[in-house]
Chain A
Amino acid sequence: MKTILGISAFYHDSAATILIDGKIIAAAQEERFTRIKHDSDYPFNAIEFVLNFSKIKLSEVDQIIFFEKPFLKFERLLETYVAFAPRGFRSFCMAMPIWLKDKLFQKKMLINELKKHDNNFNDDKKIYFSDHHLSHAASAFFPSPFEEAIVLTADGVGEWATTTVAIGKGNNLEIKKEIHFPHSLGLLYSAFTYYTGFKVNSGEYKLMGLAPYGTPIYEDKIKDSLIDIKEDGSFHLDQSYFNYATGFTMTNDKFDNLFGQKVRDAKHEKLTQFHMDIAASIQKVTEDTMITIAKSLKEEFNIPNLCLAGGVALNCVANGKILKEKIFDNIWIQPAAGDAGGSLGAALALWYIEQNNPRTVDHNDSMQGSYLGPEYSQKEIEEQLDKAGAKYEIFKDQELLEKTASDLSNEEAIGWFQGRMEFGPRALGGRSILGDPRSEKMQKNLNLKVKYRESFRPFAPSILKEDLSEWFDLNVDSPYMLMVSSINKDKTIEMTEDQKNLFGIDKLNIKRSKIPAVTHVDYSARIQTVHKETNERYFRLIEKFKEKTNCPILVNTSFNVRGEPIVNTPIDAFNCFMGTDLDKLVIGNCYLDKKDQNPLLKKDYTKEFELD
């Protein structure tokens, strides 16, 4: 038995993954344990979890691999400062102490931290370092259902690379070309995230959600001034508009002048049509760039399969557009496409590329639905709920599903906590908040009373795989909620001329389809197909809901409030349940009704987590 522990840390989204004989056994993000969103610290808890889950001690692990190379990153920093000097002196003075004190010595730091798991661990020769984008590429290719594929990774920045193209074949993966910092599609998108007043590294989703409210009127301006996209999809950013290479902000005054407004101050300024148009424009440019790259790669390598990873691959709208262009026959996207997935990719790269172990392709993919995190037995759930003072009933499976489906059809908001936690940023029916997509008030209710988040943000549908084509213009599986597609015409409700003229967010309140809670203003939806093979209980629940309502769809949003990491333990779930307007909570076979709970246990949850 050969064991590999993969670690990603010290940037954002720390995580750990364990492989045994090449099989993914467990993976989790540190934020779920520490309750600090995007926690970047050493993932002590995540490592403890993956070790305990696999029932092995750290000293028994054969190799440990870190997802990137700190020296290479340091090289990039120094060269960048030299290239931009004397600009960036303040940033240099701030960054160097951190590097000289901690970051250059990450190997030593890792060894010291690792020893805390197991005193017997003392072999530093077991520690390896992967390359940031190779880790992403490996996480996209090796678990994919393809024998051969083009692998495209794009994110903010790794060591030097911001975009890479690799070819995966069998158990090998070779990087063919790269685009280097400071030219980065991820950082361009983040620059606009910053400009529209959202938080970099977490607000990119909001910008994407805002885009359909606007018109891409600044597309030409962006293409003419900020990004030069070549025929093959490679690109060059004009650095005179940006400040991220050496400064403390993403953009500068020249950027503001280009668009005519200052950076939005989220605390004091509301979102306006200007910001929506900006969002629509950068979204369009991102889509165009990705499509150009994809077309050129197909032409160059003539391989029918595409794998995607890196933060940009979480832009599910762009993914949907690539799919719609029919450039590739098949597309597979790593569900933990961000840096957390680097822990998985690094471990897989070591197992297959370095150690040359044979690879057997799983035609469904080998991510096991991404349900790779902790799980709790019925006994553990009851113990935790008792300790928290919760009042609950226990039902057998059939009755539980019947009751939950019935509550959902009565427009109640349900906390749904079942089986293993998801690995990656999306909740996929393991730690989810569920609702009735037919309800006209559900979208507003969930956004404002349950999730405490901005009212413009859309929700995603979970749909039984068999019913997909009846409801959506999509003919491939999307088990990880990474594809956006349109609702079929016969399910939509045309807006009147008056309604079409409504301003931005007001449009969202118009009933635009038979499933308004998951229909965005442009009639699109971020789809999750639910499969019996990977999450039977969730599948059965939707089946039950369909029996009652003739609708094979549920609203599925992550089980958390704005700024909070997705719940991990039954206690986290109970706290979130008591801090929000959720009506019911279903954990394992326990069924909790808000009305039965001790009102003294209610919390003011709005201040528990810093808004992102």
Chain B
Amino acid sequence: MDFLKEFWEFLKVRKKYWLLPILLFLVLFGGLIVLTQGSAIAPFIYTIF
């Protein structure tokens, strides 16, 4: 819950509400990816981390 509150505060400050549907989509459907994958660390992704 704290996380959601903080993330909402963050979106308000940044005024980037359009990120919210993307995040919701990710949380709902991405859960599946999370469950099917271990802590995959890409061998070579410089910027995403």
Chain A interface (Cβ < 8 Å from any Cβ of B): 10-11, 40, 71-72, 75, 77-80, 82, 91, 93-98, 100-105, 107-108, 156-157, 181-182, 187, 190, 200-201, 244-245, 248-250
CA gap between A11 and B45 in the complex, in Å: 11
Q: B22 — which chain A residues lie within 8 A by C-beta?
A: 78, 82
Q: List B residues 17-39 near A (Cβ within 8 Å).
A: 19, 22-23, 26-27, 30-31, 33-34, 37, 39
Q: A156 — which chain B residues lie within 8 A by C-beta?
A: 46-47
Q: Cβ of A96 and Cβ of B26 under 8 Å apart?
A: yes
CA gap between A154 and B47 in the complex, in Å: 15
Q: Which 9 A-B pairs have the closest CB atoms?
A: A95-B48, A71-B10, A97-B33, A97-B34, A94-B42, A97-B37, A101-B34, A100-B30, A248-B44
Number of contacts between A and B (CB, 8 Å)? 81
5 of the cross-chain contacts (CB-CB < 8 Å) are A10-B49, A103-B49, A157-B47, A244-B46, A245-B47
A55 to chain B, nearest CB (A): 32
Q: A244 — which chain B residues lie within 8 A by C-beta?
A: 46-47
Q: Cβ of A190 and Cβ of B46 under 8 Å apart?
A: yes
CA gap between A100 and B7 in the complex, in Å: 13
A95 to chain B, nearest CB (A): 4
Further 9 A-B residue pairs, CB within 8 A, beyond A71-B6, A80-B47, A97-B40? A40-B49, A71-B10, A75-B16, A94-B40, A94-B48, A97-B37, A100-B33, A101-B34, A107-B6
Q: Cβ of A75 and Cβ of B33 under 8 Å apart?
A: no
CA gap between A10 and B49 in the complex, in Å: 8
CA gap between A226 and B10 in the complex, in Å: 35
Q: Cβ of A75 and Cβ of B48 under 8 Å apart?
A: no
Which residue of B has the minimal Cβ distance to A184? B47
Which residue of A has the minimal Cβ distance to B9? A71
Q: Cβ of A96 and Cβ of B41 under 8 Å apart?
A: no
Q: Cβ of B44 and Cβ of A249 under 8 Å apart?
A: yes
Q: Cβ of B39 and Cβ of A105 under 8 Å apart?
A: no
Q: Cβ of A77 and Cβ of B14 under 8 Å apart?
A: no
Q: How large is the interface on B (under 10, 10 to 19, 20 to 34, 35 or more residues)?
A: 20 to 34
Q: A181 — which chain B residues lie within 8 A by C-beta?
A: 47
Q: Cβ of A93 and Cβ of B33 under 8 Å apart?
A: yes
A128 to chain B, nearest CB (A): 13
Given contacts A156-B46, A157-B47, contact A78 B40 (CB under 8 A): no
Given contacts A75-B19, A97-B40, A98-B40, contact A91 B45 (CB under 8 A): yes
Q: Cβ of B46 and Cβ of A98 under 8 Å apart?
A: no
A270 to chain B, nearest CB (A): 22
Given contacts A100-B34, A157-B47, contact A95 B3 (CB under 8 A): no
Q: Cβ of A108 and Cβ of B43 under 8 Å apart?
A: no
B21 to chain A, nearest CB (A): 11
CA gap between A94 and B3 in the complex, in Å: 22
Partner of B33, one of A96, A201, A245: A96
Which residue of A has the minimal Cβ distance to B27? A100
Q: Cβ of B19 and Cβ of A78 under 8 Å apart?
A: yes
A182 to chain B, nearest CB (A): 8
Q: Cβ of B46 and Cβ of A250 under 8 Å apart?
A: yes
A179 to chain B, nearest CB (A): 15
Given contacts A71-B10, A75-B16, contact A248 B45 (CB under 8 A): yes
Q: A103 — which chain B residues lie within 8 A by C-beta?
A: 49
Q: Cβ of A200 and Cβ of B34 under 8 Å apart?
A: no
Q: A10 — which chain B residues lie within 8 A by C-beta?
A: 49
CA gap between A248 and B45 in the complex, in Å: 5
Q: A108 — which chain B residues lie within 8 A by C-beta?
A: 2-3
CA gap between A40 and B49 in the complex, in Å: 10
Q: A182 — which chain B residues lie within 8 A by C-beta?
A: 47
Q: Cβ of B39 and Cβ of A187 under 8 Å apart?
A: no
Partner of B47, one of A71, A94, A102, A187: A187
Q: A248 — which chain B residues lie within 8 A by C-beta?
A: 42-45
Partner of A75, one of B14, B34, B46: B14
Which residue of B has the minimal Cβ distance to A90? B42
CA gap between A211 and B16 in the complex, in Å: 44
CA gap between A250 and B26 in the complex, in Å: 26
B40 to chain A, nearest CB (A): 6
Q: Cβ of A187 and Cβ of B46 under 8 Å apart?
A: yes
Which residue of A has the minimal Cβ distance to B36? A97
CA gap between A229 and B16 in the complex, in Å: 30
Q: A245 — which chain B residues lie within 8 A by C-beta?
A: 47
Which residue of A has the minimal Cβ distance to B33? A97
Q: B45 — which chain A residues lie within 8 A by C-beta?
A: 91, 94-95, 248
CA gap between A250 and B45 in the complex, in Å: 8
A38 to chain B, nearest CB (A): 12
CA gap between A119 and B14 in the complex, in Å: 35
CA gap between A102 and B34 in the complex, in Å: 10
Q: B7 — which chain A residues lie within 8 A by C-beta?
A: 71, 104
Given contacts A93-B33, A105-B3, A108-B3, contact A98 B39 (CB under 8 A): yes
Q: B10 — which chain A residues lie within 8 A by C-beta?
A: 71-72, 75
Q: B3 — which chain A residues lie within 8 A by C-beta?
A: 104-105, 107-108
CA gap between A378 and B24 in the complex, in Å: 59
CA gap between A72 and B46 in the complex, in Å: 17
Q: A96 — which chain B residues lie within 8 A by C-beta?
A: 26, 30, 33
Q: A102 — which chain B residues lie within 8 A by C-beta?
A: 39
CA gap between A40 and B26 in the complex, in Å: 26
Q: Cβ of A97 and Cβ of B30 under 8 Å apart?
A: yes
A293 to chain B, nearest CB (A): 22
A248 to chain B, nearest CB (A): 5
Which residue of B has the minimal Cβ distance to A10? B49
Q: Cβ of B27 and Cβ of A201 under 8 Å apart?
A: no
A87 to chain B, nearest CB (A): 14
Q: B19 — which chain A residues lie within 8 A by C-beta?
A: 75, 78-79
Q: A82 — which chain B residues lie within 8 A by C-beta?
A: 22
